[in-house]
Amino acid sequence: MNSQTTLRRAVLGCVVAIAVATSAGCAEIESVTAEPYEPAALESTGPDKPARIILTDEAVDRVALQTTEVKPLGKELTVDHAALVFDKAGKPWVFTVVGPRTYLRAAIGIEEVQNNLVILSAGPPAGTQVVTVGAIELWGAELGIAGKH
């Protein structure tokens, strides 16, 4: 046998030894499984009614939820345009604050829109807190698509 053949066999032997040692070491590593993150829980409010949405503290922080209140304007009520969410049939809604980290979709009627102000023909009473920033994320949570990235 010549020295080149001997060298090739030695290199091949080292490669095989390293592969065996590496694969044996990998087999001993435990796999880690992550628990699924659920940013929101839904509670039924009755058949054919919107679900109550309860967010985790982390979800509230991540979304940076902001609210405003339903305000009187003469005899009418108003909300910021940012609070509006429309369902697939085009019906307008707002998400009301019903408790700590807890929200409920409420139907509204729109009388008129003036710039960023919506004059309501129906909806929650004056003083009710409604979500502006984060309303669409609440809608996604209610539809069951939140946190499914």
Q: List, edge to edge, every strand of the sheet that includes 109-114.
A: 71-73, 76-80, 117-122, 109-114
Q: Could you write out the DSSP letters of every residue in 75-113? A: TEEEEEGGG-EE-TT--EEEEEEEETTEEEEEE-EEEEE
Indicate the domain borders of the chain.
40-143
How many C-beta atoms lie closer than 10 Å to residue 85's C-beta?
Answer: 18
pLDDT of residue 147: 52
For residue 8, what pLDDT is reported?
57
Q: pLDDT tier at 14 (50, 70, 90 boundaries)?
A: low
DSSP state of 10: H
Q: What is the pLDDT of residues 30-79, one digit of tens each?
A: 666 666 678 899 988 899 899 999 999 999 889 999 999 999 999 999 99
**Span of 14-18, 46-50, 128-132 with lowest mean pLDDT:** 14-18
> If you average pLDDT over every residue of the chain, what do you get?
84
3-class SS of residue 51: coil
**CATH number of the 40-143 domain:** 2.40.420.20
Span 80-118, pLDDT tens digits:
999 999 999 999 999 999 999 999 999 999 999 999 999
**pLDDT (tens digit, 9 = 90+) per residue, 68-83?**
999 999 999 999 999 9
DSSP-derived 3-state class of residue 114 = strand
